[in-house]
Amino acid sequence: MVHQWGPAQCRVYHFNCRNTPAHDKFLVHGLWPSNFSDPQPRDCVLSSPQDQVLDMKKLPKNLVKKLSISWRSLIGDDEAFWISQWRSHGTCSFPKFGQAKYFWLANSLWENMDLFDMLKKEGIEPKPSKMYYQTDIIQAIKKHHFEGQVAIKPEFHCRGSELLEIRLCINHDGIDYINCTSGAATYGNKLCGQKFEWFI
């Protein structure tokens, strides 16, 4: 599950962000299936052609309303973003997760993991010229979501020293969080160092 920090995405990639990025929440970038033989499969070809392309009519209206908050596009039309994400990543979760189930899962994970709020409660907020340690952020997440459980190792992705994304991994059933192990970088970003900047 990829949680993106909108202000950084717009700044770092020089996106023409026509939708103002939220300054008080991470947004869903995607729910990206992976496996050990291919850490980040993409554009999986389905035996059922009707499921290859996202059919917006399969998504209930109440889900679409939720996705317009949790998984909104920074640069354009939300539906176009969801269609792209289903084609690139969602198809690789099929048939275990059909179209509606895939998007319900992503939204549910987002609703139950308010990263911004968790970090704010621990005094970790986006500030210019401030460096944060991965260990402090992991501890904040553990305190507010995994208290009494085995610590879960997320991945932090940066461009240079600036935080772009926090990735939290779940098992293939979409139920339990697990350690992230792929280390797959995307779009020119890379795993962050032990400390990094996070600002608006």
Letter for the amino acid at 150? V
Q: Which fold has domain 2-197?
A: Ribonuclease Rh; Chain A (3.90.730)
pLDDT (0 to 100) of residue 196: 97
Report strand pairing: 2-4 vs 162-167.
antiparallel
Q: Which pLDDT score is estimated for 151? A: 64
At residue 148, the pLDDT reads 72
The identity of residue 57, as a single letter, is K
Distance CA 168, CA 182 (A): 11
User: For position 132, what pLDDT does the model report?
Assistant: 98
Extents of the domains making up the chain: 2-197
Tokens describing residue 96: 């275990």
pLDDT along the chain (200 residues), means of 10: 95 82 95 78 89 96 98 95 97 96 98 97 95 96 83 89 95 92 66 96
- Determine the pLDDT at residue 150: 67
pLDDT of residue 36: 65
**Neighbour tally for 48: CB within 10 Å:** 8
Name the β-bridge partners of 195. Answer: 133
